[in-house]
Structure 1
Amino acid sequence: MAGSRERDRSWPPDPEPLPHPIVDGHTHLDSPAPGARGFDGVGEPPTVAEQIARAAALGVTRIVQVGCDLPAARWTDRLVREQPAVLGAVAIHPNEAPLHAGVQEVAPDGLPPARDPRHDVGLDEAIAEVAALARGNDRIRAIGETGLDHFRGGDRARRVQRDAFRAHVAMAKELGLALQIHDRDAHADVLAVLERDGAPERTVFHCFSGDAEMAAVCAAHGWYLSFAGTVTFSGASALRAALHVVPLGQVLLETDAPYLTPHPYRGRPNAPYLVAATARAVATELDLDLGDLCRVVWETSEQVYGPW
């Protein structure tokens, strides 16, 4: 269209280096940003090694890689054996669980969805493989992301999600691992499952999306809230209010890369190095010294995931 501008898909510039190391508590290194080129603006998206090096140069020296479908979980299992800066989390994502169970929504055009061979594995078998990966690799330290996603799917899909979520909660408790929760438009139902089944000792709400009231409930249970680039968005006043409710020792930071790039780079590619920008925004919001914030998040990350 005449006069239209092409969307900027360049990588955001480096934030200032952090005064103390910090952890990106949730990222997807297996999923490069769609359409992104290399860090130099040409070629293929950056390699995992390039992403880790760029993050480390800014003080983001530790990363939790999350594999939440079977190929990504297997990839995560291999990666964390090779990269000392990276620990792993594995699960069947709530939007993947119904597909493994044969519950698929009809596309808007009325046609059945395209077959994906990765979903030929039944849900019970897929969850069993996740458990086997976690049991067989001491560098996988969390089960996640698991939870509920009411943004997509009807009643049948939601029932499958709930059953899968409960299975992952039980798995985390059996294996003594942390739990990373995906909660999209499902706050009350997620809390109900945790209240009913009992949450693992170390439970993390990945990319926390609730308000101050929900944050207070989570804090009272001793759960951890992980804030992503969304906390910097102009319309996220409820998230910023939640930050003020949670004890600092229950706050974690993450990118959820390649998604949720912090302001003012929203819509551009995201990678672990940009958790430094979110950390700076959170420190400003809480009127904290940036180094103090980074130190506490570092210590809390080790409490949740153990030493790297």
Structure 2
Amino acid sequence: MAGKRPAPEAPEPLSPLVDAHTHLDACGATDAESVAAVLDRAAAVGVGRVVTIADDLAAAGFAVRAAHWDPRVYAAVALHPTRANALDDAAKRELERLASDPRVVAVGETGLDYYWPGKLEGCADVEDQVDGFRWHIDLAKRVGKPLMIHNRDADFDLLTVLLDEGAPETVIFHCFSSDATMALACVEQGYVLSFSGTVSFKNAHELHEAAKLVPDELLLVETDAPFLTPHPFRGAPNEPYCLPYTVRALAALRDRDPGELAETLTANAERVYGI
């Protein structure tokens, strides 16, 4: 998570880029002016658009408002799996309403998180998470939008539930953090894998191998800001303007020109999100 280190210096511009997953509210944006300030900093280094993500109802409402305030912002709405125990009938109605908004480009982040139950007070248990995940899968199919997945320590069960329910046409594994075996299993199903600053971490050897295996057309890149700040700024607050650091790290792993990879990633984001 973001620490007390100073904000990273701006990277050399790399254009065009789309931040496929960020949390503008957690970055400190609260209104149209502060949202625009974050996007202006991002645009200065080539990150022209972002998808801001919800993990609870308040964040979902904010994400949709932000997407209407600034044309460079798109939204995704869902309850995070650790909050799946709050998915009552009223929450479902509100998420259904928000997910139908034309500025919402995905249902997420949803999925399974097996790390936090028993460690985090109030965290949804596995049964509630699975039930919530199934409901979000159905919602994504009903509104015809991509499903954005949060996965922590739940590889097998995630793939099983997707197979059992029948996956939506487009599935995005946000902040992919599993190994090459899981990457190949996702690729086989045509799922899109989005890589964050973790792919730049020097000790993330299994993730490095996974990142090399994904076909170009199934790649996205994200900040997950304000978290997961790329090397060499780990522990500092992340923001969408930091995305070029991750793209350059990913390009080095894949032996690609960063500018060419940026164009590929942006074309993928435009296709996947319909933007």
Say if 2:51 and 2:76, in contact at 8 Å, map to a contact too.
yes
Please give the TM-score of this superposition, normalised by the length of structure 2: 0.93
Give the match for residue 88 of structure 2: 123
Residue 127 of structure 1 deviates from its aligned partner by 2.3
Say if 1:73 and 1:90, in contact at 8 Å, map to a contact too.
yes
Residue 49 of structure 1 deviates from its aligned partner by 1.6
Q: Identical aligned pairs, as a percentage?
A: 47
CA deviations over 1:213-270 (Å, ceiling 9, x no partner): 1101111111100000011112211111001111011010000000000011001000
Hey, what's the Cα distance between the residues in 1 that align with 2:191 and 2:254?
20
Matched, 1:227 2:177: no
AA in 2 matched with 1:16: E
Matched, 1:134 2:99: yes
Say if 2:35 and 2:70, in contact at 8 Å, map to a contact too.
no
Change (3 A) 1:23 1:305: same
Give the match for residue 6 of structure 2: 10
AA in 1 matched with 2:112: L
CA deviations over 1:138-176 (Å, ceiling 9, x no partner): 010100000000011159711000000000001001110
> Residues 16-31 of structure 1 correspond to what in structure 2 (within 5 A)?
16-18=12-14, 20-31=15-26
Q: CA RMSD in A?
A: 1.6
Say if 1:178 and 1:304, in contact at 8 Å, map to a contact too.
yes
Matched, 1:169 2:137: yes
Hey, what's the Cα distance between the residues in 1 that align with 2:93 and 2:167?
20
Q: Which residue, 98, 105, 108 being the options, matches 1:144?
A: 108
CA deviations over 1:101-149 (Å, ceiling 9, x no partner): xxxxxxxxxxxxxxxxxxxxx52321221111111x1010100000000
Say if 1:92 and 1:127, in contact at 8 Å, map to a contact too.
no
> Residues 264-279 of structure 1 correspond to what in structure 2 (within 5 A)?
264-279=232-247
Q: Which residue, 89, 92, 101 being the options, matches 2:76?
A: 89
Question: Structure 1: any 5+ residue segments left out of the alignment?
Answer: 1-6, 39-45, 101-121
Say if 1:215 and 1:245, in contact at 8 Å, map to a contact too.
yes
Residue 284 of structure 1 deviates from its aligned partner by 1.1
Say if 1:151 and 1:185, in contact at 8 Å, map to a contact too.
yes
> Residues 133-282 of structure 1 correspond to what in structure 2 (within 5 A)?
133-135=98-100, 137-153=101-117, 157-282=125-250
Change (3 A) 1:8 1:153: closer
Partner of 1:244, secondary structure, is: helix
Hey, what's the Cα distance between the residues in 1 that align with 2:38 and 2:65?
17
Partner of 2:117, secondary structure, is: coil
Q: Which residue, 290, 297, 308 being the options, matches 2:258?
A: 290
Residue 32 of structure 1 deviates from its aligned partner by 2.5
Hey, what's the Cα distance between the residues in 2 that align with 1:270 and 1:124?
35
Hey, what's the Cα distance between the residues in 2 that align with 1:50 and 1:77?
17
Residue 67 of structure 1 deviates from its aligned partner by 1.3
Hey, what's the Cα distance between the residues in 1 that align with 2:205 and 2:124?
34
Say if 1:27 and 1:66, in contact at 8 Å, map to a contact too.
yes
Q: Which moved more, 1:238-247 or 1:124-133?
A: 124-133
Residue 8 of structure 1 deviates from its aligned partner by 4.5
Give the match for residue 110 of structure 1: none
Select the structure of larger CA radius of gyration. 1
Hey, what's the Cα distance between the residues in 1 that align with 2:252 and 2:128?
41
Q: Which residue, 16, 37, 56 being the options, matches 2:43?
A: 56
Matched, 1:78 2:65: yes
Question: Structure 2: any 5+ residue segments left out of the alignment?
Answer: none
